[in-house]
């Protein structure tokens, strides 16, 4: 399995969109998020913009800071992690998705 953490991506991540929406709904400022998650403002901006994929620990700290359900955000993270690890056109376990019944 490839390591997707902190890797530059070829396209925006879905988790960045989800995290930004959670941040806005919680009303938490970027500076507070960066401080409480232990990352720099530039890195946070790249994650929220979908330019890089954050590690699992970041998701847990982010959820706690925003008052979000960590299990929900982890599920989004796991789905995205798997998608990025298997590559385009691949299903679970690195196989192409099945077609039909």
pLDDT digits (tens, 9 = 90+) for 12-54: 789 999 999 999 999 999 999 999 999 999 999 999 999 999 9
Q: Which position has the token pair 């929900």?
A: 72
Query: Is the pLDDT assigned to residue 85 strictly greater than 50?
Result: yes
> How would DSSP label each residue in the chain?
----TT-B-SS--HHHHHHHHHHHHHT--HHHHHHHHT--HHHHHHHHTTSBPPPHHHHHHHHHHHT--HHHHHHHHHHHHHHHHH-TT--GGGPPPP---
Of all residues in the chain, what percent carry a pLDDT higher than 90? 67
Residue 2 banded pLDDT, cuts 50, 70, 90: very low
Q: Please give the domain boundaries of the chain with CATH numbers for all domains.
A: 14-84 (1.10.260.40)
């Amino acid at each position: 399995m490839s390591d997707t953490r902190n890797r530059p991506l070829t396209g925006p991540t879905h988790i960045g969109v989800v995290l930004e929406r959670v941040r806005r709904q919680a009303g938490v400022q970027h500076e507070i998020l960066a401080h409480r998650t232990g990352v720099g403002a530039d890195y946070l901006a790249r994650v929220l913009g979908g330019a890089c994929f954050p590690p699992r620990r970041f998701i847990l700290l982010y959820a706690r800071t925003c008052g979000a359900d960590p299990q929900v955000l982890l599920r989004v993270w796991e789905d995205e992690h798997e998608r990025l690890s298997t590559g385009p056109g691949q299903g679970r376990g690195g196989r192409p998705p099945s077609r039909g019944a």
